Structure 1
Amino acid sequence: MGEKEKLSGYGLALHTTSPQLGLTLSDFQGEEKTQTWDLGRDLATHLHVLLQELIHPHSWWELKLIAVAKGPGSFTGTRIGVATARTLAQQLDIPLFAISTLAAIADYEKKQHQFPDQDLIAVQLPARREQYFVGIYEVNANGLISYLPDQVMTETDWQATLNQISQPYHLVTPTEETLGKTVKSVLSLAVQQWEQGKRPKIEDAKPFYGS
């Protein structure tokens, strides 16, 4: 009732943790606009203009929730995305969902390949000093469940962790340059949390740099 009424508006998601910016706008009823841009270091210069273009011809006040990829990923890009999302959510007085970059990758892969329930999706991204950002998620009828929280591991420790897994798992190793396309999963994971009754506070949305 109340939840359905609010979700009749629009949701906006931002993915700024990689060189590829991803933005998506959806009304949860079939109308959707998703775009990616390879901006690299020009993110700060173009983000606000591209947001305005994406929203048009709708009003900002039609938004009912915002989702943002919180990292791990680029320090500067992640900080810009989270700060922008927090400002918008505060001005519009709507919930802001900060979604793991790795969880969005896992969700995107789940939808691409239709992995069976209870299978695991292990995600790794390059980090500094010959380390990886890693996380493992279990496929569930209702979405994804965290199996191993996002963290930084050496290649040796990560391989040892994978070797200890007894259930089927799928290793995903995307390149940073293509992560913007997972922005739709950033939004869908936020909606999943919404439907579970979660209404996070804006101040709880903080970048996760993987440390």
Structure 2
Amino acid sequence: MNQPSSQSSSQSSLLLALHSSSETLGVGVQAPGAEPRIASFPLGRQLSNDLLPCVEELLPAEHWPQLGRLVVATGPGGFTGTRLTVVLARTLAQQLSIPLHGFSSFLLMARRHWAMQPWPPHQRLWLQQPLPRRGVVAGAYSPDPQALGGVAEALEPRLYRSGEAWPGDGSGDEPCLEAVVEPQADVRQLLELGQLADAAGLPGPWEPVLPLYPTSPVER
């Protein structure tokens, strides 16, 4: 039987979302026209052992061929946790020949903030995560009607070292909020973006979807 093309997904296909940019794994599954099923698992360092069993709690492996599209959070997050879910998503997308889309965990947070309290057009919102003895990881987000879901990543999250100036550090007039993962809410954002990508018929090649590491895993 022919597998679905990576250029489109079947109307009866399932959408799977994976998010492990924090100590808690978030998993979501949604069928067309149905309410999503979302679960979170506080795995911490057990993610490497328990990732597949947790995914199978929502979608047993025998149903994976029914997947039509995948979405995954690419970080920033822990080196091992982010890498494992991105690798799983890439492997499934390649083997099933289905689209895969990666979105930064900060973008998902920005979408949550926008939904609760939209900020003025053309203004950037900064999200920041302090890293002890290293600096702060920060990214900027702005409303954009041309972007998928209406919020664009103006500046991808990167490390600003201690003492390095950046527009959201309080010295300017651009607002800045702490980057806090809410696993189930952020998985819902992933599913919404996946639905929009499916409706737009976006191809979603798996090769460009890679983990986002603002700092080196071997850096001291």
Q: Using a 3 Å threshold, how does the CA distance of structure 1 residues 170 and 56 change in structure 2: closer, same or farther?
A: farther
More strand per residue: 1 or 2?
1
Q: Which residue of 2 aligns with 1:174?
A: 179
Q: Using a 3 Å threshold, how does the CA distance of structure 1 residues 152 and 197 change in structure 2: closer, same or farther?
A: farther
Q: TM-score, normalised by structure 1?
A: 0.82
Q: 2:129 aligns with which of 107, 114, 125?
A: 125
Q: CA deviation at 1:128?
A: 5.2
Tell me the distance in 2 between the aligned counterparts of 1:123 and 1:116: 16
Letter in 1 for 2:167: T
Tell me the distance in 1 between the aligned counterparts of 2:122 and 2:211: 29
Say whether residues 1:47 and 2:51 are aligned partners: yes
Letter in 2 for 1:122: W
Tell me the distance in 2 between the aligned counterparts of 1:174 and 1:42: 23
Q: Which residue of 1 aligns with 2:4?
A: none
Tell me the distance in 1 between the aligned counterparts of 2:127 and 2:197: 21
Q: Which residue of 1 aligns with 2:153?
A: 146
More helix per residue: 1 or 2?
1
2:9–2:69 CA contact under 8 A, matched in 1: no
Q: Which runs of 5+ in 1 are unaligned?
A: none
Letter in 2 for 1:120: R
SS at structure 2 position matched to 1:205: coil
Letter in 1 for 2:211: P
Q: CA deviation at 1:24?
A: 0.9
Say whether residues 1:13 and 2:17 are aligned partners: yes
Tell me the distance in 2 between the aligned counterparts of 1:147 and 1:204: 19
Tell me the distance in 2 between the aligned counterparts of 1:57 and 1:203: 23
Q: Using a 3 Å threshold, how does the CA distance of structure 1 residues 62 and 165 change in structure 2: closer, same or farther?
A: farther
Tell me the distance in 2 between the aligned counterparts of 1:89 and 1:4: 12
Give a deviation string over 1:35-83, Cα, whole Å, max 9, x none: 1111110111211111111015982222111011111110010111111
Tell me the distance in 1 between the aligned counterparts of 2:176 and 2:197: 25
Percent of aligned pairs sharing the same letter: 28
2:8–2:202 CA contact under 8 A, matched in 1: no
RMSD over equivalenced CA pairs, Å: 2.9
Say whether residues 1:75 and 2:79 are aligned partners: yes
Give a deviation string over 1:120-147, Cα, whole Å, max 9, x none: 3321123353312211111234511222
Give a deviation string over 1:158-180, Cα, whole Å, max 9, x none: 5x4125766xx54321345x445
Q: Which runs of 5+ in 2 are unaligned?
A: 1-6, 216-220
SS at structure 2 position matched to 1:200: coil
Q: TM-score, normalised by structure 2?
A: 0.79
2:38–2:184 CA contact under 8 A, matched in 1: no
Q: Using a 3 Å threshold, how does the CA distance of structure 1 residues 186 and 100 change in structure 2: closer, same or farther?
A: same
Tell me the distance in 1 between the aligned counterparts of 2:198 and 2:129: 27
Tell me the distance in 1 between the aligned counterparts of 2:61 and 2:96: 17
Say whether residues 1:96 and 2:103 are aligned partners: no
SS at structure 2 position matched to 1:135: strand
Q: Using a 3 Å threshold, how does the CA distance of structure 1 residues 132 and 192 change in structure 2: closer, same or farther?
A: farther
1:22–1:37 CA contact under 8 A, matched in 2: yes
1:20–1:180 CA contact under 8 A, matched in 2: no
